[in-house]
Structure 1
Amino acid sequence: MTDAPGYELPFLLFGGFRTLIDRLHAELAHRGHPDLRPSHGFAMQAIGVRGATASEIGRRLGVSKQAAGKTVDRLEALGYAERADDPADARRKIVRLTAHGVDALAKSAEIFDDLRAEWVRTLGRDHVRAIEEGLRAVAGPTAYRLDAAGWLSG
Structure 2
Amino acid sequence: MSEPARTERWGFELPLMLLAGFRSLIDALHAELAERGHPDLRPAYGFAMQAMGREGVTASELGRRLGVSKQAAGKTVDRLAALGYAERVDDAADARRKRVRLTPRGLDALALSAEVFEELRGRWAATLGAERLREVEDALEAVVPPGAYRLDAGSWFGG
Same fold (TM over 0.5): yes
1:59 equivalent in alignment to 2:64: yes
The letter of the residue matching 2:93 is: A
Measure, in 2, the Cα distance between the counterparts of 1:149 and 1:116. 21
Q: CA RMSD for the aligned pairs?
A: 1.2
Aligned twin of 1:21? 26
Is 1:2 the counterpart of 2:12 in the alignment? Answer: no
Deviation at residue 138 of structure 1 after TM alignment:
1.1
8 Å CA contact 1:61, 1:148 repeated in 2: yes
Answer 1 or 2: which has greater helix percent: 1
Greater mean deviation of Cα atoms: 113-122 or 134-143: 134-143
Distance 1:8 1:142 in 2: 24
Sequence identity percentage: 68
Provide structure 2 residue ranges, at least 5 long, that are not aligned to the other structure: 1-5
Runs of 4+ in 1 over 4 A off after TM superposition: none
- Structure 1, residues 58-78: CA drift from partner, whole Å, max 9, x if none? 000000000000000000000
Equivalent residue runs for 1:37-116 within 5 Å = 37-116=42-121
Q: Flag structure 1 segments of 5+ consecutive residues without an equivalent.
A: none
Q: Return the match for 2:153 from 139, 144, 148.
A: 148
Q: Distance in 2 between matches of 1:61 and 1:6?
A: 29
Q: Aligned partners of 1:152, 1:33: CA distance in 2, in Å?
A: 23
Structure 2 counterpart of 1:136 = 141
Count of residues in Structure 1 that have an aligned counterpart in Structure 2: 154
CA distance in 2, matches of 1:138, 1:152: 22
| TM-score of the aligned structures, taking structure 2 as reference length | 0.94
Question: Residues of 2 paired with 1:153 and 1:119: CA distance?
Answer: 28
Hey, what's the Cα distance between the residues in 2 that align with 1:18 and 1:142? 21
Structure 1 contact 136–143 (Cα < 8 Å) conserved: no
